[in-house]
């Protein structure tokens, strides 16, 4: 028996489908709705319409690439939340209909839990407990993971997510959405010590990224008054400096948690885990304090259905299926 699951992810602006068989990813198709870059961010109504347009084609491609006939599927998994409600409704309604038509069980998957386990894709070994640093456009959380179903949020952002801070700073610089990858790319040739930004003090293990975004805005406005070509003349150095600040804020709290919780394993996941500077700094940290860092492969960092399929496989093995009257949640909690 092959235990094949089709998984569908439509929480934000990427329509994605994946097939997993016996714990191994057989396909992972992602269609990004690049139109949003011109609009400066994701427009929920446009995102849900695009999911409707893309979903059948993306699912067919995922099945084709995996060499699986839908009639041989054992379950359908889909993102149940959190995310944009209209987008989630497209994926969940499609999955329920297909599950009903094929007479197979459905599995609603929490998007955040799926991110937290994305480093385990393709049956990678897991050491419990581990700390997961979840850094995306919508979330910044430090999570203690004790089993696949027992997760506790230890720290989180009190305002903007770190990916959002990257995107907003990029917007201030006139860069397209999503700006995180662009800042990363431009920073490679920049000097991160060129400009400094004030520290934001937050108690405990929580983060705050809205203050740094505002300081960045005032800094750029002030410099533009002195030199209207300030951004053009110094773009790479500005990017490297703000990137280094955002990443050092992330690492500072993570270090504190690792020290206090005495874990040996840490996973970094979510879109910002694709950041090359974060990956470099985390690898330095791992050597200096002797911990094991797990980072998913690039294609599993940003939103993708393979991570939904991977987490669904844990639930499938436990016969943990969803009822057909399950409804999506925009703000579902990880705990
Ligand atoms: O996990 P994800 O694909 O979607 C959410 O669930 O939010 O994360 C998207 C976020 C965006 O804010 C994007 O700018 C950021 O991840 N991002 C990056 C990089 N790649 C994606 N931020 C910094 N450096 C990157 N290389
Ligand atoms: Zn995500």
Ligand 1 mutation target, pool 28, 137, 270, 296, most atoms within 8 A of CB: 137
What Å distances lie between residue 187 and 102, 276, 281, CA to CA? 49, 10, 14
In the prediction, which pLDDT does 95 show? 98
Give the E-state strand segments of the chain in sequence order. Answer: 4-9, 14-21, 24-32, 75-81, 106-110, 130-135, 140-147, 150-156, 265-269, 292-294
Residue 11 and residue 84 in contact, taking contact as beta carbons nearer than 8 Å = yes
Q: In angstroms, what is the span from residue 245 Cα to ligand 1's centroid?
A: 17
Split at pLDDT 50, 70, 90, the class of 332 is low
**32 DSSP β-pair partners:** 14
In the prediction, which pLDDT does 42 show? 78
Orientation of helix 162-172 relative to helix 230-261, angle to 10°: 170
Mean pLDDT of the 301-315 span: 96
Split at pLDDT 50, 70, 90, the class of 220 is very high
Percentage with pLDDT > 70 across the chain: 96
pLDDT over 80 (residue 91): yes
Atom of ligand 1 nearest to the CA of 14: 3
Mean pLDDT of the 12-25 span: 94
**Residue range 127-295, CATH number:** 3.30.420.40
- 125 C-beta neighbours (distance < 10 Å), count: 7
Residue among 304, 300, 298, 306 nearest 19 (CA): 306
In the prediction, which pLDDT does 206 show? 97
Residue 184 Cβ inside 6 Å of ligand 1? The answer reads: yes
Q: In angstroms, what is the span from residue 286 Cα to ligand 2's centroid?
A: 24
Supply 136's token pair: 């995306």
Same fold, 4-117+303-317 and 127-295: yes
pLDDT over 70 (residue 35): no
Residue-range domain boundaries for the chain: 4-117+303-317, 127-295
Split at pLDDT 50, 70, 90, the class of 33 is low
pLDDT over 80 (residue 335): no
Residue 79 Cβ inside 6 Å of ligand 1? The answer reads: no
pLDDT over 70 (residue 38): no
Could you please state the CATH topology (level 3) that the domain comprising 4-117+303-317 is classified under: Nucleotidyltransferase; domain 5 (3.30.420)
Split at pLDDT 50, 70, 90, the class of 199 is confident
pTM, rounded to two decimals: 0.91
């Amino acid at each position: 028996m092959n235990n094949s699951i089709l998984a569908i992810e439509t929480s934000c602006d990427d329509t994605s489908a994946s097939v997993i068989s016996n714990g191994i990813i057989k396909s992972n198709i992602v269609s990004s709705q690049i139109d949003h870059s011109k609009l400066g961010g994701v427009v929920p109504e446009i995102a849900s319409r695009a999911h409707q347009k893309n979903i059948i084609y993306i699912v067919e491609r995922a099945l084709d690439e995996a060499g699986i006939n839908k009639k041989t599927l054992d379950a359908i998994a889909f993102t149940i939340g959190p995310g944009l409600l209209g987008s989630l409704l497209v994926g969940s309604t499609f999955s329920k209909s297909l599950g009903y038509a094929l007479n197979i069980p459905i599995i609603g998957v929490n998007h955040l839990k799926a991110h937290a386990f994305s480093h385990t894709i393709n049956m990678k070994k897991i050491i419990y407990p581990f700390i997961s640093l979840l850094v995306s456009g919508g979330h910044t959380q430090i999570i203690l993971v004790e089993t696949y179903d027992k997760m506790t949020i230890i720290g989180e952002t009190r305002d903007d997510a770190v990916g959002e801070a990257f995107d907003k700073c990029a917007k201030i610089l006139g860069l397209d959405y999503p700006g995180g990858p662009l800042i990363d790319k431009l920073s490679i040739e920049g000097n991160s010590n060129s400009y400094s930004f004030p520290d934001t003090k937050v108690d405990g293990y929580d983060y705050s990224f809205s203050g740094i975004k505002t300081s960045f805005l005032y800094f750029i406005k002030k410099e533009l008054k002195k030199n209207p070509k300030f951004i053009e003349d110094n773009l790479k150095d500005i990017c490297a400096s703000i990137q280094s600040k955002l990443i050092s804020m992330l690492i500072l709290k993570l270090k504190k948690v690792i020290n206090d919780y005495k874990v040996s394993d840490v996973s970094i996941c979510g879109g910002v885990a694709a950041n090359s500077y974060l990956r470099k700094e985390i690898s330095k940290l791992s050597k200096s304090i002797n911990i094991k860092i797990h980072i998913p492969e690039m294609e599993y960092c940003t939103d993708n259905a393979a991570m939904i399929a991977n987490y669904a496989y844990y639930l499938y093995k436990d016969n943990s299926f969803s009822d057909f009257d399950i409804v999506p949640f925009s703000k579902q909690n990880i705990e």
